[in-house]
Chains A and B, each alone.
Chain A
Amino acid sequence: MKLVNLLRIAWRAIKRNKMRAFLTMLGIIIGVAAVIAMIAIGQGSRQSIQSQITGMGSNMITIRPSSNVMGGARLDVTNVQALAEPDIIALQKQPEYINAVSPSVTARGQVINGPYNWSTSLQGVAPEYLSIRSWPLQDGVSFTSQDVKRAAKVCLVGQTIITNLFPNGEDVLGKNIRFKNIPFKIIGVLGKKGENTFGQDQDDIILTPYTTVQKRILATTYYQTIFASAIDESSTDKAAAEIQQVMRVSHKLQKGTDDDFTVRTQAELISTFTSTSQILTILLAVIAGISLVVGGIGIMNIMYVSVTERTKEIGLRMSIGARGIDILMQFLIEAILISITGGLIGVALGITATKLVTLFLQWPTLVTQSSVILSFLVCFITGVFFGYYPALKASRLDPIEALRYE
């Protein structure tokens, strides 16, 4: 038996009942379209979270004092040492995987320019901070280690600060703004960053030497956070391990005691936030997959009806020389053709729906090749699986009985 002939036979049989074939396909079409669209939405949000976090500087590592003191014995907060200058010195001494480190202390308050005022954060950092965050300057220059030593009253301003304090669009370089009554001279303008993953406006910030915040505003010698960067993206885990080692030594922690600080890489942050969207994607895909199975059962149902209804036709085909296997293949191919055609239409519909979601709801979406291939494969398997039993039933008919069937 030639496959072309089998295909031709099956195709003609489907053509004879176009409407029914289409209705049978409908379940598959909806199932596949749902799978494609759901996965695209899930993947899209995942990717956008990922790219936003990466946009914060993918080599970045954050060190904070431990706040998760758990267990009755360790409730004593004094055990926790804050981050301070010795830590920075230790981290900068012959680092292997660490590229740059910067302390960070932040104060919140009103910033004033003449009649305009704005509530914002003043973040004290080292000059290296900009490279750690891979944050370019749009205008002006950064402060120097000299400025850090002097606790200079200079600052770099974010875009949101400019919009709120200088609404008339004048040049801001060299202007003074006041934070807690201390005048800060603007020496640079930060490039626009936009919102971060958590919806915070990253441009609503003023950067200044950390010593300035420590001495002039907070009167402290501690840091809230230390930012560091690995020498490259692939070394972030090694750099994190190195930081942990150095910090333990610096904090004089005994063997067997817990860290009193946490080291987090961007990759960890990404995985925390993408794991929720991953669960969402899986959930959506499962729901969509169920509708695909329902579509498959629809095929089986129709194929059964079709076999019964076409008993006489099967008898005739056998009388003119069709073998059992030919009949089996015919019905199997019919089922597969229906499911694959349904799959094709479903893929097209799913992609269209995805585009519409992006267009009208502005949701990020991503149609992945694997989701298309996967749902197509599932269609094929559905066709084979749900088409097999009706086809087997057809192939086992007795030609005489079948011919006599009314």
Chain B
Amino acid sequence: MSSVIVDIRNLEREFKMGDETVKALNDVSFTINAGEFITIMGSSGSGKTTLLNILGCLDKPTKGEYFLDGTNVSKLSKTELARFRNKKLGFVFQSYNLLPRTSAIENVELPLLYNPEISAKQRKEKAMKALEAVKLTHRTHYLPSQLSGGQQQRVAIARALINDPVLILADEATGNLDSRTSYEIMMLVQELNDVQGKTIVFVTHELDIASFSKRTITLKDGKIIKDNINSNVRNARKVLEGLPLISEPSIAAK
């Protein structure tokens, strides 16, 4: 019953390095339905980021077709791609990519500044709502340098949420975080998926993280070698509750 958000057919992406041609993606096809939470796994150099860049309309495939929300993206111009990213997509990066010396709320509202249809008032409201979704309303005017890594990533997630995207793309979004903070982020991501029904594609190379998603696509040398529905989805909240708390005295004792 659910609608198709992403439809990829026989996708290829080649990079020319002098005489050599690297096929970073080779005959990749899959579809993503609305409301899915997918992780993309694979070893280093397997083509995860390349795939994500194409999904995120930052890059174009050498061959094959890509339909995003019903539009054939391969045919769009640079400017149209920019509009598309602005309206349909949300990005979360490994290194957060927040603007330095810029408050959390101003970072969050950034995508809307590039959307002429949104008034200043709407922008503020949406930014507050997004910060609420990532539980950071008490940190709206903090600067990135005053926030922890986990909090910074939550600001980045809020920024990805603000334009109400049809697809959220995350590349190793927990890569810079310790395991506890990673679980907190995964809890948030699961909540966005379960409660708000957001469609999420999450690149990771940790099995531990992939186990929180409903479906995992595994790449190897630019090809899909595995695409399976996760029958045993872990709940990040429960995992967090089961985690032993690092008690204050033990830190002090160090």
Q: Which of A158-180 contact B (CB under 8 A)?
A: none
Closest-by-CB residue of B relative to A315 is B97
Whether A348 is near chain B, meaning CB under 8 Å from some CB there, is: no
Q: Which of A353-380 contact B (CB under 8 A)?
A: none
Q: Of the candidates B85, B97, B100, B114, which one forms a contact with A1 in the assembled complex, judged by CB atoms under 8 Å apart?
A: B114
Closest-by-CB residue of B relative to A15 is B101
Chain A 306-323 against B: per-residue CB contact (8 Å), 1 yes, 0 no?
Answer: 000000110111111111
Q: Of the candidates B53, B101, B110, B163, which one forms a contact with A16 in the assembled complex, judged by CB atoms under 8 Å apart?
A: B101
Whether A324 is near chain B, meaning CB under 8 Å from some CB there, is: yes
- Stretch of A2-10, A78-86, A206-214, A231-239 that contacts chain B: A2-10
Known interface pairs A2-B116, A400-B59; A320-B159 also in contact (CB < 8 Å): yes
Whole-angstrom distance from the CB of B227 to the nearest CB of chain A? 25
Q: Give the distance in Å from the alpha carbon of A313 to the alpha carbon of B53 in the complex.
A: 17
Closest-by-CB residue of B relative to A326 is B114
Q: Give the distance in Å from the alpha carbon of A321 to the alpha carbon of B112 in the complex.
A: 9
Whether A149 is near chain B, meaning CB under 8 Å from some CB there, is: no
Known interface pairs A319-B85, A320-B85, A320-B86; A9-B56 also in contact (CB < 8 Å): no
Whether B111 is near chain A, meaning CB under 8 Å from some CB there, is: yes
- Stretch of B65-73, B76-84, B130-138 that contacts chain A: B76-84
Flag if A323 contacts B110 (CB, 8 Å): no
Whole-angstrom distance from the CB of B136 to the nearest CB of chain A? 18
Q: Which of A1-28 contact B (CB under 8 A)?
A: 1-2, 5, 8-9, 12, 16-17
Flag if B100 contacts A16 (CB, 8 Å): yes
Q: Give the distance in Å from the alpha carbon of A273 to the alpha carbon of B5 in the complex.
A: 82
Flag if A321 contacts B102 (CB, 8 Å): no
Whether A399 is near chain B, meaning CB under 8 Å from some CB there, is: yes
- B93 neighbours in A (Cβ, 8 Å): 316, 403
Number of interface residues of A (CB under 8 A): 25
Q: Which of B12-27 contact A (CB under 8 A)?
A: none
Q: Give the distance in Å from the alpha carbon of A312 to the alpha carbon of B59 in the complex.
A: 17
Flag if A321 contacts B101 (CB, 8 Å): no
Q: Give the distance in Å from the alpha carbon of A376 to the alpha carbon of B91 in the complex.
A: 42
Q: Of the candidates A1, A315, A323, which one forms a contact with B78 in the assembled complex, judged by CB atoms under 8 Å apart?
A: A323
- A313 neighbours in B (Cβ, 8 Å): 97, 99
Known interface pairs A16-B99, A16-B100, A313-B99; A322-B114 also in contact (CB < 8 Å): yes
Known interface pairs A12-B106, A400-B53, A400-B59; A321-B99 also in contact (CB < 8 Å): no
Chain B 80-123 against A: per-residue CB contact (8 Å), 1 yes, 0 no?
Answer: 00110111000101000101111000100011011110000000
Whether B58 is near chain A, meaning CB under 8 Å from some CB there, is: yes
> Looking at B53, B87, B99, which has the most chain A CB atoms within 10 Å of its CB?
B99
Q: Of the candidates B56, B87, B113, B163, which one forms a contact with A5 in the assembled complex, judged by CB atoms under 8 Å apart?
A: B113
- B59 neighbours in A (Cβ, 8 Å): 400
Chain A 380-406 against B: per-residue CB contact (8 Å), 1 yes, 0 no?
Answer: 000000000000000000011001000
Flag if B85 contacts A5 (CB, 8 Å): no
- A325 neighbours in B (Cβ, 8 Å): 79
Flag if B114 contacts A5 (CB, 8 Å): yes
Closest-by-CB residue of A relative to B97 is A316
Q: Give the distance in Å from the alpha carbon of A16 to the alpha carbon of B106 in the complex.
A: 12
Whole-angstrom distance from the CB of A219 to the nearest CB of chain B? 92
Flag if A9 contacts B97 (CB, 8 Å): no
Q: Of the candidates B58, B83, B159, which one forms a contact with A400 in the assembled complex, judged by CB atoms under 8 Å apart?
A: B58
Q: Give the distance in Å from the alpha carbon of A318 to the alpha carbon of B91 in the complex.
A: 11
Q: Give the distance in Å from the alpha carbon of A5 to the alpha carbon of B123 in the complex.
A: 11
Known interface pairs A399-B58, A400-B58; A317-B79 also in contact (CB < 8 Å): no
Flag if B56 contacts A319 (CB, 8 Å): yes
- B58 neighbours in A (Cβ, 8 Å): 318-319, 399-400, 403
Whole-angstrom distance from the CB of B76 to the nearest CB of chain A? 12
Closest-by-CB residue of A relative to B80 is A323
Known interface pairs A16-B101, A312-B97, A400-B53; A324-B78 also in contact (CB < 8 Å): yes
Flag if B78 contacts A321 (CB, 8 Å): no
> Looking at A1, A321, A400, which has the most chain B CB atoms within 10 Å of its CB?
A321
Known interface pairs A1-B114, A5-B113, A16-B102; A321-B82 also in contact (CB < 8 Å): yes
Whole-angstrom distance from the CB of A398 to the nearest CB of chain B? 9
Whole-angstrom distance from the CB of B160 to the nearest CB of chain A? 8
Whole-angstrom distance from the CB of B58 to the nearest CB of chain A? 5
Flag if B85 contacts A321 (CB, 8 Å): yes
Question: What 10 A-B pairs have minimum CB-CB distances, sorted nearest first?
Answer: A321-B86, A320-B111, A323-B82, A16-B101, A321-B114, A316-B97, A5-B113, A2-B116, A321-B85, A399-B58
Could you list 16 examples of A-B contacts with CB < 8 Å?
A: A9-B113, A16-B102, A313-B99, A317-B114, A319-B91, A320-B111, A321-B82, A321-B85, A321-B86, A321-B115, A322-B86, A323-B78, A323-B114, A400-B53, A400-B59, A403-B97
* Additional A-B contact list (15), CB under 8 Å, known A12-B102, A316-B97, A319-B56: A12-B106, A16-B102, A17-B101, A313-B99, A315-B97, A316-B93, A316-B99, A317-B114, A318-B85, A320-B159, A321-B83, A321-B114, A321-B163, A323-B82, A403-B93
